Amino acid sequence: MSGFLCYSGVMPTQKLSGAVSVWSNSPYTPTGYGVQVSHLLPLLKRAGLDVAMLSNYGLEGSKQNIKTPYGKIPHFPRGHDAYSNDVAPTDHLVWAKLHADKPNLFISLYDVWVMTSPRYGELDKIASWTPIDHVTMPTKVEAHSRKKNVHPIAMAPNGVREFEAKGIEHSYIPHSVNTKVIKPTHKLANGMAVEDYFKSKDKFVVGMVAANKASGMVHRKAFSENLLAFKLFQKDHSDAILYIHTDPAFIQGWNLMQLLDSCGIDPETVMFPNPLDYRFGVDPKHLAALYTGIDVLLAPSYGEGFGVPTIEAQACGTRVIGSSWAATPDLVSDDCWLVEGQPQWDSAQNAWWQIPKVGSIVAALKLAYAEGKTKSDKSIQLAKIYDVENVWKNHWLPTLNKLLPQD
């Protein structure tokens, strides 16, 4: 499988020299990490860098090149280890050796606890784009960030505060949104009006956009709390429907149809995307129409390191209900809603999560309902801060200049 990353923008005034490997989800996967990689790869290539992609999730087994408007990027497929620890550091060392006359950099976009191979210690420099979705900084994140060859990158203001509190040198690079595409629009990619798709002219549409990936009894995206809250809200608001942009039966997640049934939610009032469309990636223009068509994004969770859907929804003028925890409070406009929660100790990370309170979610849904189908100019303006080109110019370029010394 090969594909074409179509993101392009104005040509930069500065060219860089260096060999860079990016280790994360494939740019074609429908995940927050996949979206960020799809933005970053063309920009790195546009800047003149020699770029390789090390995919752990998506493009498994593929050796074909990734195409961008600025040239092809070689792809190193995943290994046998669950997180490619058996091949990722070696692949970068090979890439660096092929460009031995240039400085090299390994960019990782993963939770640091997955980096278990001792060979990461052999790499010259690791730019570790680090999600911090707990309060305070997990001990594994701190230990990783203090390694001599690691330069941690905070992806949200809460991460900046955590690194500053620990006295750890770091950079700040938020996740980005292509606001030239993710913007208010009422037309789906097939030309259908999104109101006709949702049949929502006389309905209040609540949307959820969250990957259905979980381990055991804990689901960080708080599906149980959110769905139960929606059911309680729906009792007094029979015109409410729910659109959940995820795979309802992903093998690594929960069976959401069973959960809907357990909450007593009528499946006729719930919509999911076509599973094949979702797994292969939804056209960004189509996604923008979906965000525009919902009346509020329901996004409380146990904690977010960033939360791309929060910014995407706001880029389309849609207000957000989010958690008053971790990254989210810094990433929503002041006409959105933050819900209360109960802190819970995560013994695996030695840090705190927050379980959203169902009653607080219901209260926020009622406030959103009172706003009707109005859109938020404040949210649109906030989202523009995180536009791809703004993030590249204001954050990526200064960081790359620091980590890849230029002659």
Query: What CATH number does domain 194-384 carry, 3.40.50.2000, 3.30.1490.440, 3.50.50.60, 3.30.300.30?
Result: 3.40.50.2000
The whole-number pLDDT of residue 404 equals: 95
And the tokens for 87? 């091949």
Question: Does this chain's domain 19-176+388-403 share its CATH topology with 194-384?
Answer: yes
331 to each of 124, 133, 268, how far by Cα in Å? 33, 13, 33
Give the C-alpha separation, 146 to 208, whole Å: 36
The whole-number pLDDT of residue 188 equals: 94
Q: Provide the residue ranges of all domains of the chain, joining segments of one domain with +.
A: 19-176+388-403, 194-384
Could you give the count of Cα atoms lying within 13 Å of 382 in the half-sphere of its Cβ? 22
Give the C-alpha separation, 389 to 146, whole Å: 30
Print burial letters for 189-218: b (CB count within 10 Å at least 16), e (below 16).
eeeeebbebbebeebbbbbbbbbbbeeeee
> CATH top-level class for 19-176+388-403?
alpha beta
| Angle at 336 (CA atoms; ends 331, 339), nearest 5 degrees | 90
Q: What size, in residues, is the chain?
A: 407
Neighbours of 324 (CB within 10 A): 15
The whole-number pLDDT of residue 10 equals: 54
Please enumerate in sequence order all residues whose Cβ is within 8 A of that of 84, keeping only pairs 6 or more positions apart, or say none. 23, 54, 56, 78
Give the C-alpha separation, 165 to 160, whole Å: 9
> Cβ distance 78 to 379 under 8 Å?
no
Which residues lie across from 405 on neighbouring strands? none
The model's pTM:
0.93
The whole-number pLDDT of residue 59 equals: 65
Distance spanning both ends of the chain, measured CA to CA:
38
And the tokens for 359? 């009653």
Tell me, what amino acid is at 262?
S
The whole-number pLDDT of residue 121 equals: 96
> Cβ distance 297 to 321 under 8 Å?
yes
> Cβ distance 239 to 247 under 8 Å?
no
Give the C-alpha separation, 73 to 27, whole Å: 12
User: What are residue 130's phi and psi, to 5 degrees?
Assistant: -110, 115
The whole-number pLDDT of residue 56 equals: 78
> Cβ distance 55 to 73 under 8 Å?
no
Give the C-alpha separation, 354 to 301, whole Å: 8
Compute mean pLDDT per 10 residues along the chain, 407 residues long, and list them: 52 81 87 90 97 81 82 90 91 97 96 92 96 94 97 98 98 97 95 94 95 78 97 97 92 89 96 86 92 98 96 98 98 98 94 97 98 96 98 97 88
